Amino acid sequence: MHLEEKLILVKPDASYAEEIISYRREMLLADSSMDGCGSLRRMENPHEWLKENETYANPETVPKDRVQSTQFVLTREEEKRILGMIQVRHYFNEYLEKYAGHIGYSVRPTERRRGYAKRMLHESLAFCREIGLDRILVSCLRENEGSRRTILANGGIYETTVYEPRENVWLERYWIAIPSQKK
């Protein structure tokens, strides 16, 4: 990360449509996990994806088999380049409680190893506090050293490793306490 670059964590809107397309394309070409992107993997139209994000963010419209969630993107402000995506789930369903947790995130392949995931996770903690969470569950693939370091750098405390049979993967589960708001 360059010292002079200004990064912002924002809820994406239509002004990011081209960047959403670009982010999706780069992730797919790299065959990269799209954690924290909601349904972006299967949605080519960024406006449909944005509309779905709105549906999930509203407790009145979130589908009954899903949970309320809020989508954010980390951007380099001067160029509005999406560097990463992070999704905060407001509460659990059975799957999230056992495997995925409150937060999923990913970083664009060409922007990795620059501290962006660490920053996104850190900045999302204030939002988690705003929605009433005092701690969050974050999981990562057992072999994902970068994600493990991101979680640990944000105060993650290891709980356990679980096997997720649908994806045939082992996931490490970590809890992060949400710091109280400073006065």
Q: What is the pLDDT of residue 183?
A: 53
Spatial separation of the C-alpha atoms in residues 52 and 50, rounded to whole Å: 5
Question: Measured between alpha carbons, how far is residue 77 from residues 8, 16, 146 in Å?
Answer: 6, 11, 24
Spatial separation of the C-alpha atoms in residues 115 and 63, rounded to whole Å: 34
Starting at the edge strand found earlier in the chain, the sheet holding 135-141 runs 7-10, 69-76, 81-89, 103-107, 135-141, 169-177, 157-164
Positive or negative: CA dihedral 126, 130, 134, 138: negative
Q: What is the pLDDT of residue 62?
A: 96
Spatial separation of the C-alpha atoms in residues 164 and 102, rounded to whole Å: 16
Residues 6+ apart with CB under 8 A from 66: 56, 93
Spatial separation of the C-alpha atoms in residues 32 and 85, rounded to whole Å: 13
Q: Which two tokens stand for residue 82?
A: 């999406």
Q: What is the pLDDT of residue 180?
A: 80
pTM of this structure: 0.93
Are 81 and 68 within 8 A, CB to CB?
no
Are 118 and 74 within 8 A, CB to CB?
no
pLDDT in tens, 145-167: 999 999 999 999 999 999 999 99
Q: Which residues of the chain fall below pLDDT 50?
A: none
Q: What is the pLDDT of residue 154?
A: 97
